[in-house]
Amino acid sequence: MQTENGLTAVVDDRYLRTASNPRYSVRLPMPNGALAQNEAYFFLEEDGQRKKIRFHDYDEIYLRPGLYEQLFYDRLKCESPTRMAEWLSKAVNDAGERTQSLRVLDLGAGNGMMGQALAKEGVARLVGVDILPEAKMATERDRPGLYDAYFAGDLTQSKSDLLTELSEWKFDCLTTVAALGFGDIPTMAFINAYNAIEKGGWVAFNIRDTFLSQEDDTGFSVLIRAVLLSQKMELHRMIRYRHRYSIDGEPLYYYGIVGRKRSNLTTDVANG
């Protein structure tokens, strides 16, 4: 690029903020080891103002194209969608079946990062659900046509028009990535989504490693331990891996779990 004084400036276009490649001025706060994962936040400098945004303020993040990717994928090196889609595909292939025939319900789909990884594996149908209308809007804006259908809705009620509509897709696979625990998807929504897939269908989800500890008695932790120990799911893969880094640069380890549904979950499973 030629500057006013005739010198040639080297521009690293990864940091140019354009419509197709927006970069944001994101600053992380001073290290504070006391913050829980769901309390983490960053500052966004925008239009001369500094705004504090929590990691869980997904609506604020999705409103800005590319901010989610810049923060979680470029900076904090999130690997989960790619890893989970690969492990699902391998488990399906090892069972002598084809990933390309899967009809997938992606719960907590966000702006489509998992959908993108599943599309790479070539699944047959892809339907997303997220509680936030901003997530649906961001997916349609940034990844148009990725999902065959995308619903902004709540699955916590066992009987709803949304669940009836979902049942028509005859799902044989449920994915939910980076969305369980920490106040995200409640146990009832997971149970209803699990029950919406066919018997024998595939299930792929990830959870923070600490959720499997007996000391954690939050609803989700109890539910997942019960699912793993019950006969309601047949376990095919359980892999501990680095999900991403924390804002203080510490690796956050998760378990990636792939299994096959044997039977429906009941609410008492969540109660231990």
Handedness of CA 94, 185, 220, 75 (dihedral sign): positive
Is residue 185 within the footprint of ligand SAM (CB under 6 A)? yes
Using CB under 6 A as the criterion, what x/- string covers residues 103-122 for binding ligand SAM? ----xxxx--xx--------
Is residue 172 within the footprint of ligand SAM (CB under 6 A)? no
Question: Of the candidates 79, 121, 184, 209, which one interacts with ligand SAM according to CB under 6 A?
Answer: 184
Is residue 132 within the footprint of ligand SAM (CB under 6 A)? yes
Count, residues near ligand SAM per rule CB under 6 A: 22
Q: Measuring CA to CA, how many Å separate 53 from each of 42, 46, 75, 189?
A: 6, 12, 16, 26
Among positions 53-112, residues that touch ligand SAM (CB under 6 A) are: 58, 80-81, 107-110
Q: To the nearest whole angstrom, how small is the minimum distance from the Cβ of residue 79 to ligand SAM?
A: 10
In this chain, which residue has its C-beta nearest to ligand SAM?
110
Question: Of the candidates 104, 118, 172, 186, which one interacts with ligand SAM according to CB under 6 A?
Answer: 186
Q: To the nearest whole angstrom, how small is the minimum distance from the Cβ of residue 46 to ligand SAM?
A: 21
Using CB under 6 A as the criterion, what x/- string covers residues 207-246 for binding ligand SAM? ----------------------------------------
Q: To the nearest whole angstrom, how small is the minimum distance from the Cβ of residue 73 to ligand SAM?
A: 8
Binding site for ligand SAM (CB under 6 A): 58, 80-81, 107-110, 113-114, 129-132, 135, 154, 177-179, 184-186, 189
